[in-house]
Structure 1
Amino acid sequence: MDLERAETVSLLLGQEFLTWLWFASETSNGLFRTKEGEAFSVTVEQKVSVQGGEGEARETAVCSGPMAELREARMGLRNGKKVNKAKVRVERDEVSWQVLLDAANFTLQGLKTPKVEMKLEEGEDPDGRILEKIYLLEKCMDYLDLVYARFLDLRFSPRWKDETEHLRRWLEV
């Protein structure tokens, strides 16, 4: 497989993942579980970018705003555009993270973790705050990895055909 084809497949898979994630976010409240049964949610919110066409004919529509309904982005999907970026919120209990996911290269942009109090009490280990921040970064990435693995399992199974039918009906609403 040449590099250009690999990049194209990667982009398409990333776009399908973000589209599916938006769908799952709205139809099942984005609820997921770890193998240990820990519940968490991943929801698309505030910003979605859809893109269609190729080369100089490429068009992009970005919809954003607090708790935006993202109608223009949904319309873009109905017209054949694909999600290329989405802002998501990952939540577990009362802890939340926000991050912008990019379909083109599976990057995380602007990851915001829960606030870590940086003020040290006397006798506290100064590395503790940094370690807590690293833990929170890793936890968010673990949750996103689990969701992506669930998508891949579904995407390459016979159940994908039914899932795409549900997705089409969701777009029509």
Structure 2
Amino acid sequence: MLDIAVAYNKYKFLGNEFLTWLWYVIEADINLGELTQIKDRLISIKIGNSIVLENSLGDDAKEKISIKGDDAGLEEGTMALKKGGVVTEINLNLKIDEAEYRFTIKGESMNITGLKTPTSGKIEGPDEVEGAVLEKVFLCNNVFEIIDALYSAYIKRRISDTWTAQDLTAMRAWIQL
């Protein structure tokens, strides 16, 4: 069995690679329902107001590119991808049916930060607090379920025999556009 620190260092690239793949999935307009096998809900994801990429330059030197702003172009990001960079953090807008969520995922740890859920009903009294908490937990769980399904789809593709021939080739073609 691997020591936790050894396993973390050995596989920490997967989170950043997942976020890079997720950017590709969003830009290539791949059907998320088919990808995640969640067919009972309408799911759409868009890149939010920030994305951070990192490019290793060798000798422990790293180039970090941060793109922020609601109408920011992603040309610098695609240039970083062309130079071998990966997405290390991405802000996403997730829509499940009519409910909209906003959050940021950090690639190395897969932490979700700044989660904004749809507004819920107003709490009128102390007896409604428990219901409001349960509703908020349910809304947060929706995001975790979608991200888990996307990560599972990514891992299944990543370890498949067709990763290099199909997915990686398509991603490289997308980067070169």
Distance in 1 separating the partners of 2:31 and 2:78: 17
Q: Which runs of 5+ in 1 are unaligned?
A: none
Shift of the alpha carbon at 1:104? 1.0
Distance in 2 separating the partners of 1:2 and 1:119: 46
Q: Counterpart amino acid of 1:80?
A: G
Corresponding residue of 2:155: 152
Cα RMSD over matched residues?
Answer: 2.2
TM-score by length of 2: 0.86
Corresponding residue of 1:138: 141
**1:64 corresponds to 2:65:** no
TM-score by length of 1: 0.88
Distance in 2 separating the partners of 1:169 and 1:145: 26
Shift of the alpha carbon at 1:4? 5.1
Distance in 2 separating the partners of 1:40 and 1:47: 21
Indicate the larger mover: 26-35 or 16-25: 26-35
Distance in 2 separating the partners of 1:160 and 1:56: 28
Corresponding residue of 1:19: 20
**1:44 corresponds to 2:47:** yes
Higher relative contact order (CA 8 A, sep 6+): 2
Shift of the alpha carbon at 1:7? 2.6
Q: Counterpart amino acid of 1:81?
A: G
Over residues 27-72 of structure 1, what are the superposed CA-to-partner deviations in whole Å (9 max), with x where a residue is unaligned?
1156335545223123323211011225651121101111433111
